[in-house]
A and B are shown apart, each in its own frame.
Chain A
Amino acid sequence: MANFAWMAQVASLSPAALTVQAQTLSPNDNGRLLWDLFFPRVNVNSVRLSEINTVDDRPAADRREWNARGRLIPVLTPAQRKLEMVPIESYDKIDELEMQYLMEGTFGANQAIIEQQIGVRLPARTDRLAMAAYRRLELDAMSAWSTGTIIQRNPQNAAQTFTVSFGFDAARLATASPTWAAASNAYDAFITWFEAGIEAVGPGEGAMMRLATYKEILADSPDLPGGVKMTRSQLTDRIQQDLGSPFQFVINENSLDVFTDGGTAVTRTKVWPAEQVAFIPAGKQVGSTAFAPVRRAMELDAQVPEASIDVNGVTVYHDADNGGRELEIDAQLNAMPVPQESKVWVVDAGV
């Protein structure tokens, strides 16, 4: 870092300061990401997790005759799952000429606005890197929930993928047969599926799906007197009355820019997979997002304890190359969404 003495002098550009700034960002991008609603953050002390899951433990005792023994309740060994995560990281590189221009501040007219928009200053760039890490978390959370898998891609060669499965019971990630489009009534199929979800998960308060699925349910919903179709609000109201409990549809048409390959081109991609419908349990919590410590954050925390760095949070680090002519900035997050199997009830509706 010797060649970047100016960065240490400019307090706002030190890795610790950039990390603190990145950690003040809204992890859900001011409500545009949903991961922390369904998978709230939980700090863990390692990237290796051990999860204990008690699924369907409902033993019932029996009556006994006088002077006799009752029912033995056998010990249940809970299902266990050992998980190991790998980091989420985004980086940016700035070379000498660009740094020269940045320090000169010679963007001409509307300089301040242009700088703000393209994030020419380091803190703005690190904000972008940190939000990119949270967006990966969003994609992984929705993938883990809707498919029971997380796909790791090689950042330099996106064709190389590794799919890790949580190993959920197949009944919890079912495929509708017939599809709700082919079924005689998508509304009835939905209600039947949701009621089965209450049996499998417990009380529910809604369902997440894409708009096309929702429209199929709405189209097949019972007609009002006189053959008038229901409005969206009437459909929700009707379902609440049918179920006898609060209910809301969460239509997830959010999209993010996923890199097409190892390069710079992106594809705007829907966060929630088409045709998947997920049961939202009461309280909305489907699982948690494990935030493990980041080694470099621990290092920063040791250097500047007064900064109160969140060692489990997003961490920004920069490194100089080429005799100080190149700067690489990283934003790292050691986090992984972990759905609770007993709260997962998903169907591929086929529409």
Chain B
Amino acid sequence: MPMSIVKTAGGIGYGNPFIGGVNHPAQITVDVSGLTTDEVDSFGYLKPGVPLTKAGILVGASPAFVYGVTFEAQKIVPDNPTNTTLGAVTVDPIITVNTIGHINRDVAEDNLGRAYTANEIAGFDAAGSKIALSAT
């Protein structure tokens, strides 16, 4: 067997995006087919900081509001997903989101590796949402 050196990159772990305690969890089914590799990491975990509607989809155009936000990584698909494989998932897993609280936007966006969309930001302020988004 030849010599082998395999280097695994280190890095910063996910931060819990909620400022203060998480005390109002709710279980919803998430529509995986609408997610991308921004929301799901290479190990198949749904990242902390994903804002979802009550129907378990990413917050789209008005009048959608943010029902809950994920706060701990949750395994939802096998390793190494792609946008294509995610789009093909037809079985919606049950996940936990927190429904009341205050989100640190920078932490959530760092976890996702992308900025919240205008629809998502508007969704925090929309009627029905009980989650505040920190100013940045």
A interface vs B, CB < 8 Å? 93, 95-98, 118, 156-160, 261-266, 319, 321-322, 325-326, 328
Contacts and interface: CB of A to CB of B under 8 A. Distances in A.
Contact of A261 (B14, B21, B25, B106): B106
B19 interface: yes
Given A95-B71, A322-B25, A328-B21, A264 B110 contact: yes
B136 A262 contact: yes
A157 B23 contact: no
Nearest to B72: A95
Interface in B35-75: 71-74
Nearest to A260: B106
B134 interface: yes
27 contacts: A93-B18, A118-B13, A156-B19, A156-B106, A157-B135, A159-B136, A160-B135, A261-B106, A261-B136, A262-B104, A263-B106, A263-B108, A263-B109, A263-B110, A264-B12, A264-B14, A264-B15, A264-B107, A264-B110, A266-B12, A319-B21, A321-B21, A321-B23, A322-B22, A322-B25, A326-B22, A328-B21
The 7 closest A-B pairs by CB, nearest first: A321-B21, A263-B106, A262-B106, A263-B110, A95-B72, A93-B16, A264-B110
B22 A321 contact: yes
Prevailing SS type, chain A contact patch: mixed
A326 B111 CA distance: 19
A263 B21 contact: no
B34 to A, nearest CB: 24
A275 B131 CA distance: 45
B105 A262 contact: yes
B72 A265 contact: no
A118 B22 CA distance: 24
Contacts, number: 60
A95 B104 contact: no
Given A261-B106, A262-B106, A264-B15, 19 more contacts: A95-B71, A95-B72, A97-B72, A97-B73, A118-B13, A157-B134, A157-B135, A158-B106, A159-B136, A160-B135, A263-B107, A263-B109, A264-B14, A266-B12, A321-B21, A321-B23, A322-B21, A325-B22, A326-B21
Given A156-B106, A156-B134, A157-B135, A265 B16 contact: no
B5 to A, nearest CB: 15
A147 B31 CA distance: 54
A326 B16 CA distance: 11
A266 to B, nearest CB: 8
Contacts of A96: 72
A102 to B, nearest CB: 13
A160 B81 CA distance: 38
Given A95-B71, A95-B72, A96-B72, A263 B104 contact: yes
